[in-house]
Structure formats: structure tokens, C-alpha cells
Chains A and B, each alone.
Chain A
Amino acid sequence: MLRRVRTTKNLAKRIDMEYFARPFPMRRWRFWLSIAIPALGLIWLVAHWVVSPEPFASGPVSPSHAAFGQKCNTCHTGVGGIYFRPVTEKACLGCHDAPPHHANSVLFTPTCGSCHQEHRSRAALIEVRDQACVECHASLKTKSGTTELLNVSAFVGNKHPEFYTNRGGYSDPSKIKFNHQVHIALGGCDSCHTAAGLTEATAKDNADKGGIATLRPGTAVNAIGGAYMLPIKFADHCATCHADKLEFDKSILESVPHTTPAAIHAEIMKHAAGKEAQVAALELALWEKCSFCHVLKVTDNALPEVAKPALKTRWFEHANFSHEVHSSFTCQGCHGAAANSTKASDILLPGVAKCESCHRPKGARAGCYECHSYHDWSNRKPVQTPVDITDGVREKHAPGGQESETAMAAAAQ
């Protein structure tokens, strides 16, 4: 039988009544850690603080402004405290030209910093949040009170209006008769439509492999930086397959260069002068041949007036697009209707929904700035930056650029 008995009295006797007065290792360690770690934190802060006020910055400087290093007062020129001087518009505009956004229409112009947020991780400054745009464009109001623009509150979820070309009632204004179906079946899309990147060498290579050389030697390429298709021209594109001369009755007039109706008619008259019946037949043939591709107008002088072709290379003047960026996709993927189009007036541009199939949450980026520009860069002016970083000394220079030139000369030496 167990003889040990655990009574309260027995248990109490075992306890050293002074135990709480003595330091216990766990408590002691906790106490010293509670002093040491805050002290280390303070030392770290002070060590950084004496070198620069960087620990108090609200985030890392964006890569665009990395050259300024720790010269905070390059931008923070406003009136404020020691560490939180605001950035002034003057500081931004001193280096950057920022043409205003529809200056005659908008009700207010936001500050640079309200859209371009600095000290926000490594994100590029141009990645403006959609809210900055939809703040106005969700319910657009202008000085005049009217606007042609439709409201937009986001890109996805039917919050962006359909492109104007696809809203219905719009037709291709090219004034050219063209059958995409026939031509695509013969040579594909890229036999005519070429974005930047296609060189003469690749065109020749394409021809050598039995394809169609889409560019004639000497044709300028990369003219539009890969964003938009090169303009379609008779000499560069159509004449690759179609003879560049108009053929008539061989017994009178074998062929005439592709030029104006008046010039062609003059050629006809030169060869068939006095032969009225033949002249009439040739004139009729002239109408037929021109009207095969062109829209003609009847005029008083019996010669057709050819409506000037207006083939668009850029459909949306206020939006940016790059075919080069999208070159990994097939043409049909976006312009699916082209393969069955028999009229040039058909609208073959994809709608918003097609873009949205990739540009959506968890997909490709769908911010406003991806396609649209806020600043009217057509009014861009050169700016002489007052900041010199050529010799690694980040100093602000006096207006006039004399010091800048001196510094650059010193750096060059």
C-alpha cells in the first residue's frame, strides 16, 4: 500500500517561500531580451538616421528617380517640416514637360503627385491607378457641359463603351473596293499587312520559299515602331501580284501605267486619235478598270473622278496599340471576320469583348494607361532639366545651364 500521502500541508512544506524574490532564468532572460532588442532597434534607427533621413521616407524611390539618391530636396521643395516637405508641381515640371489634358474642357487639373505616386515600391510612375481616370470619366463633365465621350468606369465588365467602329452604323471609309476573303485565301494576311520587324531580308526569304514578297526592295520598314501596320500602297503591296500597268486592247494600246484617269485618258487619245469607236471602247474600259478597285464619281468631262483612298493605319487616335506586342497571336484570332469579308466597307476590328478576353483581372493588365495617354504629347515641349548627374554629384544648378555645361565638361575630361 502506498505510504506517501500528498496533503496540502506536506506539499506546502516543500515550497521555498522566498522563491518569488529570487530571479528566475526564464524571467531574467525575458527581461534582458525586452531591453536588448528595443535597444538594438533604436541603435539601428539612429545609425541610419545620422547618415540620412531615408529611414523616414515613405518608400523606396522609383527607378526613374533613382539617380537622385538621397537628395530628397531635389523634389521635396515645398514648405513643411524637416522630414515631410511636400513635392511641388514646380519640382516635377522642372524636369518633365506634361502637356495638359484637354485644357479647354476639363473642370480641374490634378497635381502631378495625385496620379504619379512616388515612393510606392518599384512600380513605375506611369502606372497610374484607374481611379485617377475614372474619377472624371465615370461621369464626365466638361466646361461646355457637353461631350462626345461616353462614360467609362473600368475596362472589364461592360464598363468600357464599345469601340466607336463597332457600335453599328459605321463603315470602313477607305473608298477602296477590296475582297479580303479572296486575298487572304491566296496569300494570308501578312502578304499585305506588315508591322515593324519585317525586313527586306525576311521579305526576300518569304518570296524564296514560294510565298509572296510583301515588300519591294527599298520599302521603308519600322517606320511606325512596330505598333501599327504599314500603310497599304499600290506600288508596295498590290503591284506585288497585280501588274502595275493597266492593260487594254493590245492592237491599239497595250498597257498604261497606274496613274490618274486624266493621264490614262491622254495616253488613250494619243494611241487611238481619230478612231472614235475605239476611243469609246477604251474609255469604257477605263471606267471599268478604275471602278474595279476605286469608288468613282461621274463628272462633267466624261472622265471618272476617283475618290481618294483613305486607308487607315491607326483607327483610334486616342488609344495606343502595338501589333508587335500582340504578334504571338494569329491575325484571325482578333480579326476573325476578315477571312469571310468580301467588302472593304466591312468593319474588321475586334470589339472590346475580344480585348477583354485577355485584359482582365488575373489576366493581362487592363489599366487605363495601357491604352490611353493623359497628357497631350502632341504639344510636347523640350525641357532643360536643372538636375545634373553626369559626374555623380547630384547638384541642382542655377538657371541658364552654365554650371551644367561646366559639370558636363568636367565629366567629359
Chain B
Amino acid sequence: MLIDRTHKKWFAASVVILGLATVVFITYALGTPQGVSGRRGFGLVCGIIGFAFMLIAGFLGVRKRVPVWRIGRMQTWMRAHLWLGFLSFPLILFHANFHTGGKLTTVLVWLFGGVFVSGIFGAALQHILPHFYTTQVPMETIFEQIGHVREQLVAEAEQVIEEAAASLEGDYAKASEHQRAAAASAGTLGDFSVGTGLEADEQAAFELRKFFAEELKPFLESRSSRGATLREGAQAQAAFRQLRILVPSSLESTLEDLENIYEETRQLDMQSRLHKALHLWLFVHVPLSYTLLLLAAIHAVVALRY
């Protein structure tokens, strides 16, 4: 979620709460012999409010799982998650008087540190990467469908190659409608007769198939594109330039199609990488958050009840 002007009220409220809590904390810390104690007074209040904020922030996960609940808009919950989650960290530090304390509280502080840092990191990524998406990956698709779409792109590329090669080898039956129409007109394209092109250019067909089998197909099929010679943009451009020399210029549109398929696949690769970068922090943030909530709840119950 982008933190923009619509967050103005949340921002202002957070600044006020944080400022107020800081002033009271400093007053307590400087004015009392023991400083702030989590067991009583201001420290206890900070602990209770901080934990309440943590619970509200954590409730976003539940809210997402049950979108039909009429308990406020998802956007509001997301804003609450961002700002209350952010506020809860300093409040808990005030509650702990910036001490890690015993074993459980030390674990809690470190967990909270992990959750807080990963959350800030995630929020920052969500500001930067979506803009990158729109400029660098215009051919994006649904992330979960990337594999499925790539399979279709391989099939599409294979079909384009087969049609072009068939037309070069003179196999009229396998030629595409476009090529059959060109042959029927018996016209010429530059210094090359399309009609003759249907009859014989086995060498060009061989080169085309070879390019597909050795370079384009491994790239299209490779999930991570690692090892494929076309993974570098400059290398791919050079390969397609070379191919243009080898095949008749009448197949320019075929090459453009292939290049377009290649470009779409490359963008899907990039989308996959960006998506992982954009969501990988959740592998830290979410499990640590649940652990934190569980152990913090035990800490709160034991501290208040026993």
C-alpha cells in the first residue's frame, strides 16, 4: 500500500501519540529512581496499548482471509496495520524501558525487532517496486499464472517456427494462411520470390529450427532463464540480428513474432523476480509476527494473571 496523502490523519495521530508517549517516558525516566517499569504505571499502560496495537495490526491477516466480513474496509485495516504496527514498537520499548529483560522478553524484543524491520522494509519495497513494474513489465500477467502462460508461449513460438520452416521447405500444407496468400499472389518481395520461398530454402529452415531448438526454446522453457544464452538482452538482440541475415526478409513478421514472444517471456521472468522481491520479506514478517503475538500473549497473561 502506498503511503500518500490519504494517510494524513493516521500520520498526524501517530505523531501525536508517539510524541506524547516520548515526553511522558522521558519525564518518568529522569524523574523516578527506578525509571519506567513495565509492571506498573506508565510502563504498564504502554505495554497494554502496545499489545493492543499489535493485535489490531495482526488482525489484518484474519481480515484478508475472510473478505466478506463487514468490519471495515480492507484499506482501513491496511492503514491500521501500517500505523498501529509502527507505533506499537516504540510503545513496547517504553514498556520494557529499553531493556531486554529475561529470556522470554529478550526473545520478544528480538522478534519484534525482526517484525518491525521486515515491515519497514516491505513498506519501502511497496513504494519503489510497483512503479518499476509499470515501466519495466508492461506485459505482466497474474504471478501465479506465469508458468502456465510461459508454457503457452513455448507452444506459440514452436508453432510460428514450424509454420515458417514449413513454408521455407515448400510444404504448402503446413504453411500459414499468410504465407499461402503470399504464394498465391506469386509476387515478389524485394529481390526474393515468395513463391520460390515456398519451394526451397532448406538451409534457412534449418537455421530457423536450429535457433529455436538451441537458443530460443531453452530460454522459453527455463523457469529461471539461467543457462540460457538469450537471457542477456544484448545477446538476444545479436542473435535475432544474425537470424535476420540467415532467413529471407519475407519472414520478417515471423521474426518479429518470435522476438515479441521472447520479450514477453523476458518480462515475465522479470515480473517473477520482482514479485519474489516484493513478497519475500513476508516470509520473515508473517511467521515472526504470529510467533511474536503468541509469545507476547503468554507474556501478558502470565504477567497480569500470575
Q: Which residues of A contact B (CB under 8 A)?
A: 1-4, 6, 11, 14-16, 19-20, 24, 26, 29-30, 33-34, 36-38, 40-42, 44-45, 48, 54-60, 81-84, 110, 114-115, 117, 119-121, 128-129, 131-132, 135
Contacts and interface: CB of A to CB of B under 8 A. Distances in A.
Contacts of B2: none
A42 B141 CA distance: 40
Given A19-B142, A56-B302, A84-B303, A45 B291 contact: no
A59 B34 CA distance: 15
Contacts, number: 125
Contacts of A14: 141, 145, 148-149, 152
A294 to B, nearest CB: 50
B279 A26 contact: yes
A124 to B, nearest CB: 16
A114 B33 contact: yes
A201 B249 CA distance: 107
B294 A121 contact: no
B305 interface: yes
A339 to B, nearest CB: 42
Contact of B102 (A15, A36, A56, A117): A56
B150 to A, nearest CB: 10
B102 A58 contact: yes
Interface residues of B, number: 49
Contacts of A59: 99-102, 105
Interface of B: 30-35, 38-39, 99-105, 107, 111, 139, 141-142, 144-145, 148-149, 152, 178, 252-253, 256-257, 260-261, 276, 279, 282-283, 286-288, 290-291, 294-295, 298-299, 302-303, 305-306
A38 B296 CA distance: 11
A16 B148 contact: yes
Contacts of B295: 41-42, 45
Contacts of B261: 4
Given A19-B144, A55-B102, A81-B305, A34 B33 contact: no
Nearest to A11: B141
Contact of B145 (A2, A16, A82, A119): A16
Contacts of A117: 34
Contacts of B104: 45, 55-56
B145 A15 contact: yes
Nearest to A15: B145
A15 B260 contact: no
Nearest to A41: B291
A121 B287 contact: no
The 8 A-B residue pairs whose C-beta atoms are closest, nearest first, are A132-B33, A81-B306, A57-B102, A37-B287, A55-B104, A33-B287, A41-B291, A38-B291
B148 A84 contact: no
B33 A129 contact: yes
B102 A1 contact: no
26 contacts: A2-B260, A3-B253, A26-B276, A33-B286, A34-B287, A36-B287, A37-B290, A38-B290, A41-B111, A41-B291, A45-B298, A55-B103, A55-B104, A56-B102, A56-B302, A57-B102, A58-B101, A83-B303, A114-B33, A115-B33, A119-B102, A129-B34, A131-B31, A131-B32, A131-B35, A135-B33
Contacts of A58: 38-39, 101-102, 105
Contacts of B139: 6
A56 B296 CA distance: 12
A83 B276 CA distance: 45
B102 A60 contact: yes
Given A119-B101, A121-B99, A2 B141 contact: no
Contacts of A38: 287, 290-291, 294
A54 B261 CA distance: 63
Contacts of A4: 257, 260-261
A20 B256 CA distance: 33
A13 to B, nearest CB: 9
Contacts of A33: 283, 286-287
Given A4-B257, A11-B141, A16-B148, A131 B286 contact: no
Contacts of A57: 101-103
Contacts of A34: 286-287, 290
Contacts of B291: 37-38, 40-41
Nearest to A130: B33
Nearest to B148: A16
B145 A131 contact: no
B290 A54 contact: no
Contacts of B105: 58-59
Given A33-B283, A33-B286, A58-B39, 10 more contacts: A1-B256, A4-B261, A14-B145, A15-B142, A44-B107, A56-B302, A114-B34, A119-B102, A129-B34, A135-B32
